[in-house]
Structure 1
Amino acid sequence: MSKVFVLDTEKRPLIPIHSAQARQLLRNKKAAIYRRFPFTIILKEVYPDSVVMPLRLKLDPGAKTTGIALVNDSTGVVVFAAELKHRGFAIREALTSRRQLRRGRRARKTRYRQARFLNRTRPEGWLAPSLQSRVDNIKTWVEKLRKLAPIEAMSQELVRFDMQLIRNPKIQGKEYQQGTLAGYETREYLLEKWGRQCAYCGIKDVQLQIEHIHPRARGGSNSITNLTLSCEKCNTKKGTKDIKDFLKKDPSKLTKILAQAKRPLADAAAVNTTRWALFRALKETELPVETGSGGLTKFNRCQQKLEKTHWLDATCVGQSTPKLIVKAVKPLLITANGHGSRQSCRTDKFGFPSRHVPREKIHFNFQTGDIVKASVATGKKIGNYAGKVAIRSSGSFNISTKNGLIQGILHKFCKRIHAKDGYSYAQ
């Protein structure tokens, strides 16, 4: 499992330790719990012989989920791993809903209003809120981990796919083209674009081959828009036939393949849009930042025979990747939920007020989103419960646990173990 973060008496980060050592320190009352997620302890005594070894923070930014890993470059041990799930699509839906409500309200109140354009200027480097949230989430966790671990270097997957290399393999020289990385960028891009399945029969979990939609024997090019994936059976069956002749009995599939070939990869576009904003944010930490491409990440992962997951991709980012030790590492699953809405009045689907939202957000020193532990000693709900709390002004709270929602827990039985920070956690 992942190591436990350790802080000294001055709250300076030390080298993370094994969970068994952390339990022993807590049992002997030589340390106290400083933070629950990620789990961190703080020492009560000064240990002059404390060892501090530098760690590297590795990031694999994604459109929906970002992989995070802390790696010891000298030993290859993966100290910590996490998968951060973004809320970009939720933000987009919220903004769309707000826009619709405002337009409906303006249409009801004002039949015509002169257009205003001066309030539409955007500053240089502006990103859409759904994209900016991805950068802000990663930046927040970089700052958090820097306070908990001795991080002295970072690695970022700067480009999901090296589009220049895909179009022109000679862009970085003959050595790159003919080396062990040749073709990795194109293969990885096609796997993502075509859903890791045969474009013709839809079969998955088989060895897929790169196939020319319009055969080269009939004048087809090596352009990325003319490439797809097919299983060996379909590739052999199609041969040098034109795709229109091969799929003349299935015109719907023909139309779908031709349309997909021209369509750009949406997730890759989102990552490519935010990559430089994230890179600039990492450079502001004044730590050395190493960059790599998605093809290099896959090459490193295949060389070490690791599974395809977000956090394992993060451990394989960059040229500095050592021989990794990932045994028993369990990633922390982080979901960005935001800090709620500032709406003072909820609306129905037509935009009309449906219920009032109280202005008070804190009751009995608790707020909705806190992670609490409740020990109920009396009543019908005797037992111990842990989870995220939803508060009421009456003092009767609801707790969302792994086993479901527990309603009507009195506030005096609750103890906060992690304050609301806009994220939810799972192992």
Structure 2
Amino acid sequence: MAVFVLDRGGRPLMPCTEKRARLLLKRGRARVHKMLPFTIRVVDIEAEDCGFQALRVKLDPGSKTTGMALVRETAEKNAVAVINLFELMHRGKQISEALTARRGHRRMRRSHLRCRAPRFLNRGNKKSGWLAPSLQHRVDTTLAWVNRLERLAPVSSISTELVRFDMQALENPDIEGAQYQQGTLAGYEVREYLLEKWCRTCAYCGAKGVPLQIEHIQPKSKGGSNRISNLTLACQCCNAKKAALPVEVFLAKQPERLKRIQAQAKRPLKDAAVVNATRWALVNALKATGLAVETASGGRTKFNRIELGLPKTHALDAACVGDVNAITGWQKPTLCIKAMGRGSYQRTRLDKFGCVRGYLTRSKNIQGFQTGDRVKAIVTQGKKTGCHIGRVAVRASGSFNIQTSNGLVQGISHRYCTVVQRGDGYGYQLVAKTDVTGTPPQPRNTSCSALYLPGLKAGVSRAN
């Protein structure tokens, strides 16, 4: 991955390679500013004395994971070079479940009050554009990382998917004037939607990992339409067997499968609804940054990825957003960023009935550490002798747990711990690059010094 660079005043410069960053640190011309994502601050360069190239942040918003790519625009038209790849994992589901549990606990407690005051018309009206907290979280975290990348690199523009699936065109295939209906993107929107909806499996036999074909549930010869609710996916064998038979006849001996297919065909894709609900809120928030914003559809993204022969990942999907003819330097590790939150105001643990079953410490700071900080513990004696680097979970007793890349290490005394980076509400994991065959990426060691700059000497001064 490229290393972010700041001048001595904290203004962003062009990212550099790991080798150059290592030389700057070794010669004393730079200091480590931040470990994740790795950033250095040079001490003898001003931003006014440097040249800049056009950098663009590309986004592939998703319901659970948002892909991000920082790319550099090259001299060739519509060609980009990938600088860094990121995958931001949201916690909207956890927020929704926490709000549901809190609502149940409050309802239970109110029902046991002897003198409960009436509670009618005591809630304010929702503002225009209001989103549920689990949806607003996706917009806020994505915008927060766009702003962070803007502070770390001289970003000049943004590209994002305005919509994952065009629901109007899917429900009305006869719509005219859309490029993906009559042009080079014909069928990409429909096929990608069906792959997500039917979990990339054959609806009739459940086969996975085989070529799938778009199939009409009710044959067109029997009055079936091209509407998305009448389409499914089938392997070549099932598609040939079904031919022009009505689905009720083809699955006459499998009533349970028939019932499931008919129910799922009418059910809209939940993830598509989530993305469509937040699309305009995200685009408007990105426009408020003052940068030029380019929008595109999910069909265009998949078309670019297939034409360029790139494997399927969220980060590489982000690199393919917009009008792209060529992508270079995409074989890079991906930094996975998981939204963890900054703790909770609730200092009690509740059982399933909403009753208190335990208390948390009133202070989140224990011996100078907080849960979520990234620490380095060098244990010199005992069963846990060694060097452990990872995310810490503090205890009032001073015996901490450290989540490392190799697993959870429990019972580490605070005396052995040193703060590497203060918690910022996110967890980080570096994933090795994906090869051209689409082999799943493998996690790499995320120890801070070995992560980006192997050979970086311990003791390099760090700025908070």
Which range, TM-score by smaller chain? over 0.9
Per-residue displacement from partner, 1:304-327 (whole Å, max 9, x unpaired)? 0111110011001112x2411134
User: 1:112: Cα distance to partner?
Assistant: 6.3
* 1:397 Cα deviation from its structure 2 partner: 2.4
Q: What is aligned with 1:65?
A: 65
Number of the residue aligned with 1:311? 315
The separation in 2 between residues aligned to 1:266 and 1:177, in whole angstroms, is 23
Pairwise mapping of residues 256-271 of structure 1 onto structure 2 (< 5 A)?
256-271=260-275
Following TM superposition, by how much is the alpha carbon of 1:167 offset from its aligned partner in structure 2, in angstroms? 3.4
- Show the counterpart of 1:415: 418
User: 1:382 deviation in Å?
Assistant: 3.0
Deviations 1:185-217 (A, max 9, x none): 111111111111111111122221111111110
After superposition, give the CA deviation of every residue in 1:64-95 in whole Å (9 maximum; x if it has no partner). Answer: 11101011121621111111111010011111
Residue 247 (structure 1) aligned with residue 251 (structure 2): yes
1:223-274 per-residue CA deviation (whole Å, 9 max, x = no partner) reads 1111111111111111111111111111111100000000000001000001
- Match of residue 350 from structure 1: 353
Partner of 1:51: 51
| Higher mean C-alpha displacement, 337-346 vs 294-303 | 337-346
Unaligned runs of 5+ in 1: none
Structure 2 CA distance for aligned equivalents of residues 247 and 382 of structure 1: 62
How far does the alpha carbon of each residue in 1:376-404 deviate from its partner, in whole angstroms, 9 at most, with x for none?
33455432111111223443322222233
Where 2:215 maps in the other structure, the secondary structure is strand
Aligned to 2:439: none
Q: Please say if 1:206 is aligned against 2:210.
A: yes
Looking at structure 2, the residues matched to 174 and 278 of structure 1 have their Cα atoms a distance apart, in angstroms, of 23
Q: Could you tell me the TM-score, scaled by structure 2's length?
A: 0.88
**Cα distance per residue 1:87-125 (max 9 Å; x no partner):** 010011111111111111111124865341331521111
Structure 2 CA distance for aligned equivalents of residues 228 and 36 of structure 1: 47
Distance verdict in 2 for CA 1:167–1:348, change over 3 Å: closer
CA 1:174 to 1:370, structure 2 compared with 1: closer, same or farther past 3 Å? closer
Task: Find out whether 1:224 has 2:228 as its counterpart.
Answer: yes
Superposition deviation, residue 411 in structure 1: 2.3
TM-score normalized by the length of structure 1? 0.95
- SS of residue matched to 2:147: helix
The equivalent of 1:384 in structure 2 is 387
Alignment-mate amino acid for residue 337 of structure 2? I
Range that drifts further, 240-249 or 23-32: 23-32
Contact 1:3-1:19 at 8 Å conserved across structures? yes
The one of 331, 338, 341 aligned to 1:338: 341
Q: 1:387 to 1:242 in 2, by over 3 A?
A: same
With 111-120 and 196-205 compared, the bigger mean Cα shift is at 111-120
**Secondary structure of 1:165's partner?**
helix
SS at match of 1:341: coil
Residue of structure 2 equivalent to 1:29: 28
* 1:381–1:199 distance in 2 versus 1, CA, 3 Å: closer
Superimposed CA distance per residue, residues 268-323 of structure 1 (whole angstroms, 9 cap, x where no aligned partner): 1000001111111101001110001110100000010111110011001112x241
- Whole-angstrom CA distance in 1 between matches of 2:398 and 2:202: 57
SS in 2 for 1:360: coil
**Which amino acid is the alignment partner of residue 61 of structure 2?**
P
2:160 to 138, 151, 156: 156
Unmatched segments (≥5 aa) in structure 2:
431-464
112-121 or 414-423: which moved more?
112-121
**Alpha-carbon distance, 1:171 to partner:** 4.1
Find the residue that maps to 2:196 and give its secondary structure: helix
Q: Is the 8 A contact 2:180 2:188 kept in 1?
A: no
Paired with 2:377 and 2:210, the residues of 1 have a C-alpha distance of 49
Structure 1 residue 175, shift from structure 2 partner: 5.8
- Contact 1:73–1:322 (CA under 8 A) maintained in structure 2: no
| CA distance in structure 1 between the aligned counterparts of 2:6 and 2:214, rounded to whole angstroms | 51
Q: 2:400 aligns with which of 385, 397, 400?
A: 397
Output the CA distance in 1 between the equivalents of 2:60 and 2:274.
13
Aligned to 2:165, the other structure's residue is in SS state coil
2:316–2:330 Cα contact (<8 Å) kept: no
Correspondence for 1:234 among 214, 228, 238: 238
CA distance in 1, matches of 2:174, 2:227: 14
Please give the secondary structure, in 2, of the residue aligned with 1:285.
Answer: coil
Distance 1:106 1:175, change over 3 A: closer
Match of 2:372 in 1: 369
Q: 1:158 and 1:327, CA in 2 relative to 1: closer, same or farther beyond 3 A?
A: closer
Match of 2:102 among 85, 98, 101: 98
Secondary structure, counterpart of 1:103 in structure 2 = helix
8 A contact 1:34–1:42 mirrored in 2 = yes
